[in-house]
Amino acid sequence: MLKKIAQTSLLILLFSSSFLLKAEPAVGYEILSPAQPTQNPDKIEVIEFFWYGCPHCYAFEPLLEKWSKTLPKNVEFIRQPAAFNELWSKHAKAYYTAEALGIVDKVNSDLFDAIQNKKESLDTEESLAKFFAAHGVNEAQFKEAYNSFGVDSQMREAPLLAAKYGITGVPAIIINGKYKTNGTLAGSHEKMIEVMNMLIKQESTAKK
């Protein structure tokens, strides 16, 4: 009788442990080793690696855009185009050009729309010149920014940044040089936002 009770108790314990393990939520992020320095140590830095041709980045963009408008003052959000191959590099250069011209907020969503929905390649200087012209940038201004030393320097640095953070796919988010999350780790785009907010809160508390 005692043996049967012991066996039953063991089964209950095993079942309960199994249930707890399955019910426990996933962490949703990886810890970077070593941690990387941030641009401004006084801020919580959040970097998004993306590509305009990535459908997952396009789907994530509305959530990210909404999230970016609600950030506390101690958080700095940085968009970082990934440049894993020649096509990605062309689109990264489009972003850096917009940044140099000070019109990222004006053209970012339209670049996604042009590539994702309108199926425009935007992979040459000429096609990008037309795109920027439609957004009020004359050809001379565009060419000056597109071929500038600053944009060229950023293009050289882009692959190095991805390698430094161990980025192999997009969208991917780096929080304060210490943590990485993406759709696979978090489980969904919505969960990515939750993980980002959790880690921002954690890092903010640690700085106090």
**pLDDT tens figures, 127-181:** 999 999 999 999 999 999 999 999 999 999 999 999 999 999 999 999 999 999 9
CATH number at 149 reads 3.40.30.10
Residues 6+ apart with CB under 8 A from 42: 74
Q: What is the DSSP string of 80-133?
A: EE--SSHHHHHHHHHHHHHHHHT-HHHHHHHHHHHHHTS-----SHHHHHHHHH
Asked if residue 17 is part of any domain, the answer here is no
Would you say residue 182 lies in a domain? yes
Task: Examine the pLDDT at 34 and tell me if it is beyond 60.
Answer: yes
Q: Is residue 94 part of a domain?
A: yes
In a domain, 15, yes or no: no
Q: Number of folded domains in the chain?
A: 1
Q: Are the beta carbons of 97 and 154 closer than 8 angstroms? A: no
In a domain, 48, yes or no: yes
Kindly state the percentage of the chain with pLDDT values over 70. Answer: 88
pLDDT value of position 3:
46
- pLDDT on residue 14: 38
CA–CA separation, 180 and 47 (whole Å): 9
Starting from the edge strand earliest in sequence, which strands make up the sheet with 75-81, in order? 30-31, 179-182, 172-175, 44-50, 75-81
**Residue 21 scores a pLDDT above 50:** no
Classify residue 6: in a domain, yes or no. Answer: no
Say whether pLDDT at 16 is over 60: no
Q: What is the pLDDT of residue 207?
A: 85
Answer whether residue 10 shows pLDDT above 60: no
Residue 22 has pLDDT above 80, yes or no: no
pLDDT, residue 26, reads 56
pLDDT at position 6, please?
Answer: 45
Residue ranges making up the domain that contains 154? 30-207
Note whether residue 25 is domain-resident: no
- Identify the three-state secondary structure at position 68: helix
Q: Does residue 5 lie within any of the structural domains?
A: no
Q: Residue 89: CB partners within 8 Å, gap ≥ 6? A: 83, 155, 158
**pLDDT score recorded for residue 24:** 35
Query: How does the average pLDDT of the chain come out, rounded?
Result: 90
Diameter of the chain measured on Cα atoms = 91
Q: What is the pLDDT of residues 80-111, one digit of tens each?
A: 999 999 999 999 999 999 999 999 999 999 99
